[in-house]
Amino acid sequence: MGIRVEVERDRCEGYGFCEQSAPEVFRLDDEGELEILQAELPDDQCDRAEAAVRLCPVAALRLKR
């Protein structure tokens, strides 16, 4: 069973740490807006997504199991 990634868009400031940690899941577009490329993650990607959530300096990301 995997997890779901969610972003609180009004908190996100586009630092990009999530993209650096898990580029297969997160991407900043040309305007600095976060795109979630893969909202439902398989178990083998959970560790990287959890690291990305921890790295977010404004706590804009969360995971739901």
pLDDT at 34: 96
pLDDT of residue 1 exceeding 80: no
- How confident is residue 45, by pLDDT bands cut at 50, 70 and 90? confident
What's the predicted TM-score (pTM) here?
A: 0.88
pLDDT, tens digit (0-9, with 9 covering 90-100), for 3-42: 999 999 999 999 999 999 999 999 999 999 999 999 899 8
Q: What is the CATH number of domain 3-64?
A: 3.30.70.20
Cα 52 to Cα 58: distance, rounded to the nearest angstrom = 12
pLDDT at 44: 86
